[in-house]
Amino acid sequence: MSTSAPIMEKTSPTMPQDNTKAQAIAWVLYHFGNAGYPAVVAAAIFNTYFVTVVAPGAGYDKGTSTLLWTMAVGLSNFLVVASAPLLGALCDYSAAKKAVLLTATIGCIILTSLLFFTGPGAVPLAFLLITLSYFMFSTGENFLASFLPEICTSENMGRVSGWGCTVSHLGGLAILLVCQAYVGWAQAAGQEPAEYIPLTALFVAINYAIFGLPFFAVAKEHAKAKALPAGQTYWSIGTHRLMETLKEAPKFQDLFRLLLTVLLYTCGTSTVVVLASVFAHEVMGFSVSDTITLFVVINLTATGGAYVFGEIQDRMGSKPTLILALSLWLLSVLTLTFSPDRTVFWIAAALAGAANGGSFTAGRATVGLLTPAGRAGEFFGLWGLACKTAAIIGPISYGLMAYATGGNHRLAIFCTCLFFGAALALSTTINMQRGQNAASQPN
């Protein structure tokens, strides 16, 4: 990565002499394992199953069914937002980052597999499992990211982050293709959705276990545990550290500008990802099969985007790469908004996929570069908090705009450009050298 000086001990050009390479490989493969959850459960298959089969089976209409789904996802994101600073401080203070990630991983695997038992009418069970499994997935995603500064150097952080994102999109693509083949076979055999959709959750859980759990055989806990001060609890420490961290915004002004940038553009990315299938169905007339193909295309272009942007970041630097990714996002959403036919829509979707892979790669690695040594859990907890807060704000803003305009999805998606435009403008004010110098100062 094109930085002029090492920023901290943990990302110095000299890699640790333990099994860092094995950790990096296992860290990348973990992405292949957990990628099935957002692809199948959150975006392409199980969300539709909940809205069209599970909730209607209990007598809910389509609008209420959709509301229940968004409430489950919103509640899970709220739990992530509420717990991220606490868990981040806990892990940095007690050296339990690996244990928390393992707990979140196993929890998500078990809860996802239990979705197999959600049939028509099983709303309370499905609601609970979605809320908790999404919480476990998101928590694991945050803490997986916090290992990044410890398994690579500042020079190759962008590349390793890019490989993780690339493999993640490949994992999502693989699971979607498996599910598409299975769903096609089941439909040809005359099965109903309630008979074949639940099994796709088991595909996700098994894949997660196979590729996610090996990371813990090689992962190292680099932090050193510290004794709790007398009269203090992890909750009081976590709350205090959050307030103290926020007070340090002037000291780490570029890191906080980056976190605000992440929040803004994630409002946009989460909206596009969560509501792409709705926009495609309502505006472009896509069928279920078309929608699955749409997510296959998005995963393919996101795979390429993650890899290319990871390579670009190690050559051009973090800030120019992030600006490029956000510019591509703005172009893709504008194209999506004014797409006159399916051909232009497919082009816009492909651009959005590439931009998504690029913005995630650049954003995550840049947070790693500007994070002070020994405080990865704390600041990556804030990164997760920003992402999950955005995952609440973005989709809700889209829904409110669509509601206010009588279902005008083009205007709703156009308003998403405001998030990307604001993020792009703010990203230009980040001073990487100043931010790296602040991160390298003794805590």
Give, for all 443 residues of the chain, the pLDDT tens digit. Answer: 333 332 233 333 334 445 678 888 899 999 999 999 998 998 878 877 887 789 889 998 766 776 788 778 878 888 888 887 677 677 767 777 888 899 999 999 999 999 999 999 999 999 999 999 999 998 888 788 778 877 877 677 777 877 887 788 789 889 998 998 998 899 889 998 899 999 999 999 999 999 999 999 988 877 676 777 777 777 777 777 777 777 777 778 888 899 999 999 999 998 888 777 777 877 887 876 787 888 888 878 887 887 788 788 878 888 899 999 999 999 999 999 998 889 999 999 999 988 987 887 788 778 878 888 777 667 776 777 788 889 888 877 877 777 777 667 788 889 889 999 999 999 999 998 888 888 787 66
Residue 325: count other Cβ atoms within 10 Å of its Cβ: 27
Query: What's the confidence (pLDDT) of residue 107?
Result: 96
Going along the chain from its start, the domains and CATH numbers come out as: 19-218+248-440 (1.20.1250.20)
Count of alpha carbons within 13 angstroms of residue 371, beta-carbon side? 30
Rounded to 5°, angle at Cα 395 from 393 and 396:
65
Long-range contacts of 174-179 (CB under 8 A, 24+ apart): 174/32, 174/207, 175/35, 175/36, 175/39, 175/40, 175/203, 175/204, 175/207, 176/39, 176/40, 176/44, 176/292, 176/295, 176/296, 176/299, 177/296, 178/203, 179/40, 179/44, 179/45, 179/203, 179/292
CA 314 – CA 321 distance, rounded (Å): 9
Query: What's the confidence (pLDDT) of residue 288?
Result: 67
Distances (CA, A) of 372 to 6, 156, 318, 369, 439: 12, 18, 17, 8, 4
Query: What's the confidence (pLDDT) of residue 19?
Result: 61
Number of residues in the chain:
443
Query: What's the confidence (pLDDT) of residue 266?
Result: 93
CA 26 – CA 33 distance, rounded (Å): 10
275-319 pLDDT, tens digit each: 777 778 778 878 767 878 888 888 788 878 877 887 888 788 888
Q: At what angle do helices 97-114 and 62-94 cross, to 10 degrees?
A: 160
Query: What's the confidence (pLDDT) of residue 359?
Result: 87
Helices and strands: H and E segment counts in the chain:
19, 0
Specify the residue for token string 């999805």. 409
Find the radius of gyration of the CA atoms of the chain: 21
CA 370 – CA 417 distance, rounded (Å): 27
Contacts for 320 with CB less than 8 Å, ≥ 6 apart: none
